[in-house]
Structure formats: C-alpha cells, structure tokens
Amino acid sequence: MRFFLLLLFFPAAVLSQSVFNDAEKLYKAEKYLQSKTLFEQNLKANPNHLKTIEYLGDIQSHFQNWDQAIVFYEKLKTVNPKVADYQYKYGGALAMIAAQSNKLKALTMINDIESSFQNAITYNPKHIEARWALIEFYLQLPGFFGGSESKATRYANELFALSPVDGYLAKGHISEYFKRFPSAESYYKKAIQTGHSKTTYQKLANLYKNKMNQPEKAAQLMEDFSKKG
C-alpha cells in the first residue's frame, strides 16, 4: 500500500519541480509576467515552497508593487527570520512603502526598516547590500529621528573592509549627498582605480555632468572606459 501511495505522489512531485524549473528559467530570462504565472501555479501545489515565495516577491519588487512584494517577504521572514536576504528584502520593500506614504505613516515604519537591515548584517556579517541600504537610510532620515552622517559613514567604513571599491563608492556617495563635490570626486577616482568597472566610471561621470557642470569631462571619462573595454 505504501509503495502504491508513493507511485501516486511521485508524478505530482516531478511535475511540480518541472513547473518551478520552467518558471525559474523564464525569470532569469527577464520574462517576469510569464514566470509569475508558473510560480503562482507552483505555489498552489506547494504553499510553503520558500524559493517560489521569494521569486514572487522579487517579481512584485521589479514592478515596484511594494505592497504586494512585502506580503511575500514578510512570510519568508516569519518562517525563517535568520536568513539575511529575507530580512534585507523585507526592509527594502518596507522602506519603499514608507517613501510613498505620508510622513506620519512613514515614521511608524522607521524601527522595522532599521532593524531589518541590521538583522541582515547580524545573520550575514558580509552582507554588502544591507550596509548600502543603511547608508541611504541614515542619509535620508531626518536627524531628529536618528539619521546622521556619522552613522552612514560607519557603514561605509564597514563596506570598505569588505569591499574597498564599495567603500570608496559609499564614501563618495556620502560626500556627494552633502555637496562636498571635490571630496566625492576623489573617492570616485579611487573607486575607478580599485574596481575599473562601468559602475565606478558612471558614478564619477554623473558627478561631473549633474553636479559639477562639467559634461565634457563626463563624456571623456566614459569614452576612456569604452576604450578600455
């Protein structure tokens, strides 16, 4: 009897895995709406399949449907609160909801946003994205509610220890935020020397073009990058 029940279950399990694999391939091909349909189908058959739940949250995030994304991320965080990425994604979605809400509602979310990003670092001390999120959080948050340059700089220093190029970019971003453009320029140049990536060149080019009124330098910089490629 047990063998017979196993035979009944086995085709359903194989079919479910096949649906998930197809959905994942579509997602990675950036065919998000098509993958969403299959992920939803898989979730009906497997309500506790965490990777499916995560993908559905990511799809909603891609389309900036934050109220829907957070439903999936909250479930992940509740089921397994010690997974750093679940904490990070929940905090990120909550931050985006706060940004689109009135100030009174946004203020009620501050502690949850901050603690989610900090939890992500606690559960994964090398989590780079959570540190970037906290830098932006402390820059944007009014000082009266806990925002400060020193807190942002703390996480920029932690980033530098993990990834020097991220550290230079973070310090440049902080300087740019406070309109210390020569300082930002210096940090972005160090990021270029360290990372040599398109991102590093683009950050400095954007500074030249948008903040320092030097579009010619921006154009020359990106031309230099294209020649290196």
Nearest alpha-carbon partner for 138 in 178, 192, 185: 178
Angle, helix 128-140 to helix 84-99, in steps of 10 degrees: 30
Amino acid at 145: F
Which residue positions in the chain have pLDDT lower than 50?
3, 5-7, 12, 14-15
Q: Are residues 105 and 202 in the same domain?
A: no
Three-state SS for 102?
coil
CB-based contact 156:167 (threshold 8 Å): yes
- Is 37 found in the same domain as 149? yes
Domain assignment present for residue 1? The answer is: no
Predicted pLDDT of residue 228: 81
Task: Please state, in angstroms and rounded to a whole number, the distance separating the CA atoms of residues 72 and 63.
Answer: 14
215 and 130 within one domain: no
Dmax (CA) for the chain in angstroms is: 78
How much is the pTM? 0.89
111 and 81 both lie in a single domain: yes
- Residue 187 sits in the same domain as residue 199: yes
Domain of residue 193, CATH code: 1.25.40
40 and 53 co-located in one domain: yes
pLDDT in tens, 74-117: 999 999 999 999 999 999 999 999 999 998 888 999 999 999 99
In the 8-state DSSP scheme, what is residue 208?
Answer: I
Is the domain of 42 the same as that of 130? yes
Q: Do both 135 and 188 map to the same domain?
A: no
Q: Which long-range contacts (CB under 8 A, 24 or more apart) does 51-59 make?
A: 51/20, 52/20, 52/23, 54/85, 54/86, 54/89, 55/23, 55/24, 55/27, 57/89, 57/93, 58/27, 58/89, 59/27, 59/32, 59/35
At 200, the amino acid letter reads T
Which amino acid type is present at position 159? L
The reported pLDDT for the residue numbered 12 is 47
DSSP state of 127: -
Residue 223 covered by a domain: yes
Token digits for 91?
Answer: 């905090």
Among the candidates 162, 185, 204, a domain finishes at: 162
Residues 187 and 78 in one domain: no
Q: How far does Cα 111 stand from its chain's mean position?
A: 19
Our count of domains for the chain comes to 2
Domain residue limits at 189: 164-229
Report the run of H or E that residue 181 belongs to, with start and end.
helix 181-195
Structure tokens that stand for 113 in this block: 């946003």
